[in-house]
Amino acid sequence: MKVKWFLVLFVSFCWTSTGFAAGQTAAPDTTQPIEITAQKLELIQQQRQSIFTGDVVATQGDMTLSADKLTVFLLENQDQIDRLEAVGTVKVVQLDRVATADRAVFYQLEEKLVLSGHAVVVQDNNKVSGEEIVIYLKENRSVIKSSNNSRVKAVIVPVKKQEQ
């Protein structure tokens, strides 16, 4: 089923993206099977959407994406992804990396991931947060934005030198 392929792609880009935001680029093992669970799956062929709702959890190898809702949008008249949207308590975890936000949108053609609403990326003791984190995969670049009421925050913990 094509929905399975779409979710593998989404999770793969999420993990690569959180690695860029945290300063590491370890890619996931996309050869691993993916398991998606949700309370409901709705396929709307006329609108070219697949909607997973209710405690959505997608796991592949050491990666896990969870959200209240995950929607896959296809381009019109093509079997290609336009964008994927995860909303409601979005959390992406791989090893020591955790990204959270109220919403995550991946734009496939642009290869851009947007984490919005209390967006946070944590790795080890390092943390970056803002109202929105935009990750440009093609450019290996991230932009963290604040809202009118808050500021961008980065906590970077120096690595201790090994004694010789």
89-136 pLDDT per residue, tens: 999 888 888 889 999 988 878 888 899 999 999 988 899 999 999 988
Give this prediction's pTM.
Answer: 0.73
Q: Within a domain: residue 162?
A: no
Please check whether residue 163 lies inside any domain of the structure: no
Q: From 12, 156, 1, select the one nearest 94 (Cα to Cα).
A: 12
Residue 164 lies in a domain: no
The verdict on residue 37 lying in a domain is yes
In a domain, 93, yes or no: yes
**What's 63's domain CATH number?**
2.60.450.10
Q: Which two tokens stand for residue 35?
A: 């398991």
Specify the DSSP class assigned to residue 38: -
Measured in whole angstroms, how far is the alpha carbon of residue 134 from the centre of its chain? 11
Residue 43 lies in a domain: yes
The answer to whether 30 and 12 have CB atoms below 8 angstroms apart is: yes
Query: Is 58 part of a structural domain of the chain?
Result: yes
**Is residue 27 in a domain?**
yes
Question: End-to-end CA distance of the chain, in Å?
Answer: 55
33-86 per-position pLDDT tens digit: 767 799 999 999 889 999 999 999 877 788 788 999 999 888 888 877 788 899
Structural domains of the chain, count: 1
Quick one: CA torsion of 107, 111, 117, 123, rounded to 10 degrees? Answer: 150
Residue 104: domain span: 2-155
> How far apart (Å, rounded) are the C-alpha atoms in residues 73 and 62?
26
Question: In Å, how far are 38, 83, 86 from 53, measured between CA atoms?
Answer: 6, 17, 10
